[in-house]
Amino acid sequence: MRSREAQASQDAVAARGHPLAEVFFRLVESRDGDKVLDQAIMVSWDLVGVRPGILEKVRDHVKPRLPDFEIGKLIINATHTHNAPVTLEGRYTLPESGVMKPAEYVQFMIGRVGEAVVEAWQKRRVGKVGWGQGQAVVPQNRRAVYADGTARMYGATNTQEFRGIEGYEDHNLDVLFFWDEKDQLLATAINVACPSQEAEGGLSIHADFWHPVREMLRQRHGKDLFVLGWAGAGGDQTSRPMYRKTAEARMRKLRGLTPLEEVARRIVAGWEEAYQGARQDIRSDAVLRHGVQEIELPYRKVTEAEAAEARQQAARYAEDPAQRWNYRWHQGVVERYEAQQAGTEGNFKMELHALRLGDVAVATNTFELYTDYGVQIKARSPAVQTFVIQLTGSGGYLPSERAVRGGGYGAVIQSSRIGPDGGQVLVERTLEAIKGLWPPVK
């Protein structure tokens, strides 16, 4: 068996001249002679989330052009930069002129992404693969816990009531590497258990810390190196410290780095650790298996008290166009409660991808998944290394049980369609899918 690989990128610049987003692709196919054994196309897009309809539209664009590809094995993940273009209609108040509206941007990018995927697939060639692990202090839990048992995202830590940080931080950096037949490094995929929201706002559009990561790696390993950013289970994480902020700012200043460059420095250092090991174990015969299935997760139950509070808040914002986001945030809970009471809510359906590439497992989910769930999956996986990729859709936060007890943004009912019960189902179904890619243990 040999693998065939390709990669491509797309830097979207609209006719108006505004840089919009970068998109990176990795395509892998395993063959035995002329027989195709399995396939995958993985797209990393600098967006806050993959909103409903985007994946389907890209697949529809690509499918007639690639009759030899199983279209359900095309995956898109978002890096969760908060400085991405808006792709969701009716959520924000936008200028009437001078900018691309969400639907216009989505249509514009789908064409460009689709064409780049087709071109890359048609140019795929025999290659090699490797994997490694480094360490990078990038994810830092962003939920402060207080004496009364409550928790708050980005809550103050310099107060007498502060008692600690809520959860674990996964500083492992999991990396895939792809070479051509002559061992020339072509592409890499980096799994960081943290969203790329160091900047988390402002008026400029950019990829957050992934941009300096790509720039630094290209300076060292060639200007044509393709870098896929994979956000791991980091719904409760940030790259910014919750305390010791002054000390970190001082060291960053002494190094002459911006906040984005400091995060990139850490990722690149961990990447180099992984690369030094992986380059000693380059594989040309790694097995590729790719399973796709739709799973169902139970919705988080809305209590009567939660529904009443949400109804009151929705009414408060209903008539103010500038508060459209807040209105929808609360009104969504009301609608969920009504469906729950009517018995029409059903289950949440999610497309789950599980891949085996040599000794590595890769599993996807559509959520801003709290780190506890990612740790469970990694700890129980049969793979040497397990990559968990979040935000292959826009399922919202999936908080841990302790986070729900503490409350606060990211854990309250408005933030979360799926709760800890559904999170545990996700863990079990993901592990079943991963284990199915390995021979049963005797």
Question: How far is the C-alpha of 421 from the C-alpha of 29, rounded, in Å?
Answer: 36
Residues forming a β-bridge with 226: 187
β-sheet bridge partners, residue 229: 190
At 86, the amino acid letter reads V
Largest CA distance in the chain: 68
What span, in angstroms and rounded, lies between the C-alpha atoms of 33 and 428? Answer: 36
Query: 3-class DSSP state for residue 187?
Result: strand
H/E stretch holding 397:
strand 397-398
Partners of 165 in beta bridges: 144
**pLDDT score recorded for residue 237:** 99
Which residue stretches of the chain have pLDDT < 50? 1, 12-21
* Per-residue pLDDT, 15: 37
Structure tokens at 46: 């600098």
Helices (H), 244-323: 245-255, 259-278, 304-317
Give the DSSP letter string of 342-388: HT----EEEEEEEEEETTEEEEE-SSEE-HHHHHHHHHH-SSSEEEE
* Residue 279 identity: R
Which positions ≥6 away from 2 have C-beta within 8 Å?
30, 31, 126, 284, 285
- What is the DSSP secondary structure assignment for residue 52, as one 8-state letter? T
Tokens of 66: 């690639």
pLDDT score, position 95: 81
Q: What gap in Å lies between CA 369 and CA 145, rounded to an integer?
A: 19
Residue 320 corresponds to which tokens in the numbers above? 């103010």
The token pair that represents 388 in the structure block:
């968990």
Closest Cα to residue 383, out of 358, 353, 407, 416?
358
Identify the pLDDT of residue 21: 47
pLDDT score recorded for residue 61: 96
Per-residue confidence (pLDDT) for residue 81, from 0 to 100: 94
Can you say whether the dihedral through the CA atoms of 40, 41, 44, 49 is positive or negative?
negative
Sign of CA dihedral 391, 395, 400, 404: positive
Residue in the structure block whose two tokens are 């040999």: 2
CB 99 within 8 A of CB 108: no
CA angle, corner 360, sides to 198 and 22, nearest 5? 35
Q: Is the pTM of this model over 0.85?
A: yes
Secondary structure letter of residue 298 according to DSSP: P
Residue 117's nearest CA partner among 45, 185, 42, 47 is 42
* Interacting residues of 360 by C-beta distance below 8 A, sequence separation 6+: 131, 176, 383, 384, 385, 386, 387
CA 156 to chain centre: 27
166's CB contacts (< 8 A; 6+ apart) are 141, 143, 144, 145, 151, 236, 402, 403, 406
Q: What's the distance, CA 15 to chain centroid?
A: 28
* Alpha carbons 346 and 343: distance in angstroms, whole number: 7
User: Which residues neighbour 65 within 8 Å (Cβ) at sequence distance 6 or greater?
Assistant: 114, 118
